[in-house]
Structure 1
């Protein structure tokens, strides 16, 4: 049986084994998928052990995405733009390829939600790895402008330098005053039940406030966005499932339907 896994540290909270098991059943694929806790200083060794034991491919989560990028024999264009790899697979010659499905996962989830990204202006909050991985796919989807705002503007400018003039970098206090139909929170503020420190006026014309993090209850950003007048608030659970579906397609050549898996995940979180 083909063997897959997700590597991370910590990893006990990962939903990936459940998601990929559901995908395999749905697509009638025979495979196993497990979560592997790799030592912080020995990711490469853990990966090589997994391969030696028959591993066919893997997902990679924090804090190993940059190490995975260095480990791959070649990487996709979207992985290059992200500077990180979250999906490993082998080609027919046995070479290890790295890809990044985070951005296309976000795009697919936004489209599932009915958002028309063509000519859309987006306010993207945060300049960490989460933002770096999604800017390119958003632009490829037809977005007209990404205003990338971060508490420290220098980090935002560092990411913007990899793209064209459609990406504008600034600090939270310098966000241009214009309508943003879509506002995406890619900061880590949700981990401490906080929200990005931006003015509420930026959400006055927002159709969708999207938080990349997720929890059983609405995140602090979602609750605050609703108070500021955003018409719809959604967490990142759909992005999680959609990026996994892209990885599954890379490995197995079949595109699973994320809707039933997303429904089951939401039911799990509500317990």
Structure 2
């Protein structure tokens, strides 16, 4: 048989099974992640399948093992399972260790589970790359002291701000976070009443107030000149925090949709080894 006569495998004969990924949460039906990752895969011509999986609150570990057994390659993890995902991981990235939570799981070939946290990197990417906000040498105020805030403090401090202040209703909780992250930069914790007379260049809302249509109790003069207001939540219309911010001196107001896409891009990089372009994806989501 001549070399040219040998049968060549056609594309149709190659393995056409899509690589399976998913986001697990409760609730999860509202998730934009399937749409985002579909657009990412299209950029590279990758054959992937990405689903939003509702998981019973006490069935996370079982659901993860089942997804893996069915050939799953990786997972995004959202509320309320990020702490459980942290416990479930065999190995953790440095940023996941800092955050104390995992939002991205990669199943390794040796059977281990690798846990990462892409939230803080996603926030910093959105602020610095998409919104052109300089964080170095700036005064940053972060509202809240829950899991969402813990996940972003490390990456924010790596940008070398002049000062990062955490404000929270429960001050001891904020002080505990400040102590944990003190080794990474200048960080303080205060109650909302202690913000009177202080001004900040960047104010980030990491509380869940926006989900309830509420507003953290901020003093009216909290924004410095040219200040940026950022809400880690997002919706079809501006959050109460962003509406208030624009009325009280913020020059720029942005919601967390860009952060969502950027953290997803970091997850995609962890799974597939390439980082998708994000601006067009953000723009497409804004159009609805």
TM-score (norm 2): 0.90
Gaps of 5+ in 2: 1-17
Report whether the alignment pairs 1:245 with 2:265: yes
Match for residue 126 of structure 2 among 109, 129, 133: 109
Report whether the alignment pairs 1:140 with 2:139: no
Superposed CA offset, 1:152-176 (max 9, x none): 1111112112111611011111126
**Paired residues of 2:203 and 2:230 also in contact (CA < 8 A):** yes
In structure 1, how many angstroms separate the alpha carbons of the residues matched to 2:216 and 2:223?
A: 13
Report whether the alignment pairs 1:215 with 2:232: no
* Superposed displacement of residue 66, structure 1: 0.2
In structure 2, how many angstroms separate the alpha carbons of the residues matched to 1:99 and 1:73?
A: 11
Match for residue 114 of structure 2 among 89, 92, 97: 97
**Paired residues of 1:147 and 1:175 also in contact (CA < 8 A):** no
In structure 2, how many angstroms separate the alpha carbons of the residues matched to 1:205 and 1:132?
A: 27
Report whether the alignment pairs 1:44 with 2:44: no
Match for residue 149 of structure 2 among 131, 151, 154: 131
Match of 1:231 in 2: 251
**Paired residues of 2:214 and 2:240 also in contact (CA < 8 A):** yes
Match of 1:118 in 2: 136
| RMSD (CA atoms) | 1.2
In structure 2, how many angstroms separate the alpha carbons of the residues matched to 1:108 and 1:222?
A: 20
Report whether the alignment pairs 1:180 with 2:214: no
In structure 1, how many angstroms separate the alpha carbons of the residues matched to 2:33 and 2:226?
A: 31
Superposed CA offset, 1:44-89 (max 9, x none): 0011110000000000000000000000001111111111000001
* Superposed displacement of residue 92, structure 1: 4.2
Report whether the alignment pairs 1:13 with 2:30: yes
* Equivalent residues, number: 268
In structure 2, how many angstroms separate the alpha carbons of the residues matched to 1:266 and 1:180?
A: 28
Gaps of 5+ in 1: none
In structure 1, how many angstroms separate the alpha carbons of the residues matched to 2:220 and 2:43?
A: 42
Q: SS in structure 2 opposite 1:136? A: helix
Match of 1:202 in 2: 222
Match of 2:191 in 1: 171
In structure 1, how many angstroms separate the alpha carbons of the residues matched to 2:227 and 2:43?
A: 33
Q: SS in structure 1 opposite 2:80? A: coil
In structure 2, how many angstroms separate the alpha carbons of the residues matched to 1:135 and 1:204?
A: 21
Match for residue 96 of structure 2 among 68, 76, 79: 79
Match of 2:172 in 1: 154
In structure 1, how many angstroms separate the alpha carbons of the residues matched to 2:71 and 2:220?
A: 52
In structure 1, how many angstroms separate the alpha carbons of the residues matched to 2:219 and 2:226?
A: 13
* Superposed displacement of residue 204, structure 1: 4.2
TM-score (norm 1): 0.96
Q: SS in structure 1 opposite 2:221? A: helix
Max Rg structure: 2
